[in-house]
């Protein structure tokens, strides 16, 4: 049994932010009822590489969830959601602010019959403020939150990370907020509350000392490529065989071990380089020395020397490297699960690792509406009613 066994979650949303939040909850045992449109379901079903009619991303994003089709624009569909939410612990939604209220599914309405309900609301700009009604995706949150400005090289336009990072970070804050609200409900009165997560704020929260540096010194952090400004040496270097190695030798004792290991005792014993502030002032010189050393050796040889000196270093993995890696396997991070046809598909393992009640994959993303009948039966709908709703496109 997972640690969230007995927690019922209603997911009202699509694509990334809301569904990623509920995916985490489902991985640890929560019952997640995903509401999808009868007309095609979550668009993520058709994003990127397809397999057996569904996106492989969908199989992962919707693992352990139940799929229930409901037309949220119909009064009968809205009533179904209200009845499903009446005994739920959490509702997660990522529509534009105001949409849930327009459908009669806002927090005031749902909590009237279920005062202990926790509602997680993920949106581009939050539920309040002058931008609340603007459409916002994770990419826009990354831009407004400051991440895009510092990502890339100074002589080129800003770039994005190759995944939907803004959505994922906001989703994790949604999980944290939901669990904190459940804890509050448990020990302080039994009432639920709203967890308001804005994508741009989730990204902004990651931006380290960006704000106080600007406030105190009027300093605007800029793009610096692969280096870590003000912390040295920490960079990506090219080896003789054209591969890349990331080295973080910015700890005082680590720096000394590394310089000794690569034959640069002059730098290891230089008193100006004993502390980070001195190394940061001479970071170009250090990068040149390390880069020259790496450029005369193949990647495996570089890693052997640095591992021997206990210097944090590693190659940049692609997915083929990940699948072959013994540590990934040993930690259970490459799982195998069966698709609807019974074929085996590799999916990432669950994070974090709990020693007593670990999460896991019980099933991959379901077929569209696979659990509609059972969900409706659980809230009192009979066979004739369900068939009538189906004929009229409500479910």
What is the domain-level CATH number for residue 175? 3.40.50.10540
Residue from 167, 252, 307, 318 carrying the catalytic annotation:
167
Indicate the residue among 315, 348, 368 that finishes a domain.
Answer: 315
How many residues would you count in the chain? 395
pTM of the model: 0.93
With respect to residue 89, please indicate whether it lies within any of the assigned structural domains: yes
Residue 387: partners with Cβ closer than 8 Å, 6 or more residues away: none
With respect to residue 92, please indicate whether it lies within any of the assigned structural domains: yes
Same structural domain for residues 170 and 271? no
Dist CA 133 CA 97 (whole Å): 6
Number of domains in the chain: 2
- Domain of 297: which CATH number? 3.30.1540.10
Report the mean per-residue pLDDT for the chain: 96
Question: How much is the pLDDT for 180?
Answer: 98
Strand (E) or helix (H) holding 59 = helix 56-61
Same structural domain for residues 165 and 248? no
Sheet containing 65-69, strands listed edge to edge, beginning at the edge strand earlier in sequence: 65-69, 31-36, 8-12, 90-93, 118-123, 194-198
With respect to residue 157, please indicate whether it lies within any of the assigned structural domains: yes
With respect to residue 278, please indicate whether it lies within any of the assigned structural domains: yes
Catalytic residue status for 167: yes
What percentage of the chain exceeds 70 in pLDDT?
A: 100
Same structural domain for residues 296 and 199? no
Same structural domain for residues 246 and 308? yes
Q: Using 50, 70 and 90 to split pLDDT, how confident is the model at 313? A: very high
Q: Which of 52, 34, 53 is nearest to 42 (CA)?
A: 34
Cβ–Cβ under 8 Å, residues 310 and 254: yes
Cβ–Cβ under 8 Å, residues 96 and 13: no
Express each pLDDT in 320-340 by its tens digit.
999 999 999 999 999 999 988
pLDDT above 90 for 188: no
Question: How much is the pLDDT for 294?
Answer: 98
């Amino acid at each position: 049994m997972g640690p969230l066994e007995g927690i019922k979650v209603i997911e009202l949303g699509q694509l990334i932010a809301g569904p990623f939040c509920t995916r985490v909850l489902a991985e640890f045992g929560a019952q997640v009822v995903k509401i999808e449109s009868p007309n095609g379901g979550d668009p993520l079903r058709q994003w990127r590489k397809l397999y057996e009619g569904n996106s492989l991303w969908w199989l992962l994003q919707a693992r352990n969830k139940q799929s229930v089709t409901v037309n949220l624009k119909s009064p009968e569909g809205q009533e179904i959601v209200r009845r499903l939410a009446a005994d739920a612990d959490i509702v997660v939604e990522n529509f534009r602010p105001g949409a849930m209220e327009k459908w009669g599914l806002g927090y005031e309405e749902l909590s009237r019959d279920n005062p202990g309900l926790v509602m997680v609301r993920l949106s581009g700009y939050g539920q309040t403020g002058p931008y609340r009604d603007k459409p916002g995706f994770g990419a826009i949150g990354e831009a407004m939150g400051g991440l895009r400005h510092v990502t890339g090289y100074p002589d080129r336009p800003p770039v994005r990370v190759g995944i939907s990072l803004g959505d994922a970070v906001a989703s994790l804050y949604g999980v944290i907020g939901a669990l904190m609200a459940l804890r509050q409900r448990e020990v302080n009165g039994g009432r639920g509350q709203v967890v308001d997560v804005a994508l741009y704020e989730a990204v902004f929260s990651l931006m380290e000392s960006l704000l106080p540096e600007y406030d105190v010194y009027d300093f605007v952090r800029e793009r610096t490529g692969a280096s870590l400004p003000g912390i040295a040496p920490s960079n990506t270097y090219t080896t003789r065989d054209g591969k890349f190695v990331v080295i973080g030798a910015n700890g005082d004792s680590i720096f000394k071990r590394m310089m000794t290991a690569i034959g640069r005792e002059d730098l290891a014993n230089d008193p100006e380089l004993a502390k980070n502030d001195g190394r940061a002032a001479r970071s170009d010189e250090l990068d040149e020395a390390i880069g020259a050393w790496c450029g005369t050796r193949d990647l495996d040889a570089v890693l052997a020397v640095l591992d021997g000196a206990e210097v944090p270093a590693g190659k940049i993995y692609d997915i083929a490297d990940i699948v072959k890696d013994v540590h990934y396997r040993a930690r259970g991070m490459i799982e195998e699960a069966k698709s609807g046809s019974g074929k085996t598909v590799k999916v990432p393992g669950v994070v974090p690792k709990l020693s007593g009640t670990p999460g896991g994959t019980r099933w991959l993303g379901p077929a569209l509406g696979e659990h509609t009948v059972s969900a409706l039966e659980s809230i009192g709908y009979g066979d004739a009613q369900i068939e009538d709703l189906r004929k009229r496109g409500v479910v």
